[in-house]
Amino acid sequence: MNRTQCLIIGSGPAGLSAAIYTSRAGMATVVAGCEPKIAGDYDIDNYFGFPETISGRDLIERGLRQAERFGTAIVCQRVLAVHMAEDGSFHCVTDKGEYDAEAIIIAAGVNRVRPGIANIGDYDGKGVSYCVSCDGFFFRGRKVVVVGEGNYAANQALELTNFTSNVTIYTQGKEPAMDERFAASLAEAGIPVSTAKIVRLAGEPAMTGAVLEDGTAIEAEGLFVAMGQASALDFAKTLGVATSGAFIEADHEQKTNVPGVFAAGDCVGHFMQISVAVGEGAKAGRAAIAHIKERAGKSAS
C-alpha cells in the first residue's frame, strides 16, 4: 500500500499544473496517468510565453520535468477505481498498485468509450449502469454482464462479486486486454470472458436480457459499461460527485460537492484549451493544499 497526501488522476496540463502547486507547497504528490492525448507530434502556436511553435509532446515533457523537480512522483499507471473511506480519505486502485490519499484531483479529460449497443439509452437506470459502487447493490444475486475488454472491466467485474456470483464479461468483439494479474483473478472468481458482441438489449419495463451479434439471446438483468479505460466521469459517479451531462461540476476553486475531491481541465467542460486547463489545475492544487492542511489541523487538535 502506497500513501500520499495528494493523488492526481491524469498527467495532462491540468494534472501537472496542480502537481507543481501541491509539490511546491510540500505536499507528497502522486500523478497517475500515462501519455495524455496532448502529448503528440502536433504544433501549438497559441500558448502564452512561446513565441516559437512547440509540439504537444515537448510541452508535456517540460511540464513533467518541472513537476518532478519539485518532488512529484509521476507513475504510468491506469487508475481503475477510487473510493472514499469513512474518515474522509481516499483509496485508489490502479492497474499496478493501490494508494491512500488525503485529497484527489481528477484531471483525466473526457474519454468515455461507447459499447455500440443500439438501444442502450433506453435502459439507463433500468438495468444499465456505469458504476458498480453506485448500483451493484441493486443486483444482488442476479445475472449481470460487464462490457469491456481491459483491466477496468476486469476490476468492475470483480467488484460485482460482492453482490452476485453470476457475472460475465463481454469484450464487444475486441481481444481481451487484461494483464496476467487480472486474468488470474477473473479465473479464480469464475468470471468467464466472451469476445461476443452485444448489439441490443431486451425487456420491459426493465432489462431482462440481451441479443448477441449472431442472434443468440442471453439472460441478464444488469449491464455495467466499462469499455476502454476508466474516465473522469466514472470516478465522479463512484465518489458521488455531481455531474452535468458528460462533465464534472466544480466551483470557481475547482471544488466538487464532495470534500477532498477537486476537478480541473477538460473533464469540467469549460473552454477546452491548454491555458485554461493549466489555470484550473493551479486552482485545484491550491484548494487541495488548503484541504490537506485543514485535515491535518483537525487530527492534531
Q: What is the distance, to the nearest Å, from the Cα of residue 172 to the centroid of all Cα atoms in its chain?
A: 20
Q: Quick one: which of 5, 11, 8 has its CA closest to 38?
A: 11
- Report whether pLDDT(112) > 70: no
Rounded Cα distance between 280 and 263, Å, is 8
CATH C-level class of 120-225: alpha beta
> Residues 221, 225, 230, CA angle at the centre, nearest 5°?
150
Nearest to 153 by CA among 137, 175, 138, 122: 175
Q: Decide whether 2-111+231-300 matches 120-225 in CATH topology.
A: yes
Domain locations in the chain as residue ranges: 2-111+231-300, 120-225
pLDDT-based confidence at 84, cuts 50/70/90? very high
| Total-model pTM | 0.83
Give percent of the chain above pLDDT 90.
79
pLDDT of residue 233: 87
**Mean of pLDDT over the chain:** 93
C-alpha cell at 197: 458482441
Element (H, E) at 56: helix 56-69
- 45 confidence band (pLDDT: 50, 70, 90): confident
**Is the pLDDT score of 6 beyond 80?**
yes
- Put the strands of the sheet holding 128-129 in their side by side order: 128-129, 222-225, 144-147, 167-170, 193-194
Pick the CATH number of 2-111+231-300 from 3.40.50.300, 3.30.70.1520, 3.50.50.60, 3.40.1370.10: 3.50.50.60
What is the chain's Cα-based Rg? 20
184-230: per-residue pLDDT in tens? Answer: 999 999 999 999 999 999 999 999 999 999 999 999 999 999 988 88
The H-or-E segment that residue 91 falls in is strand 90-94
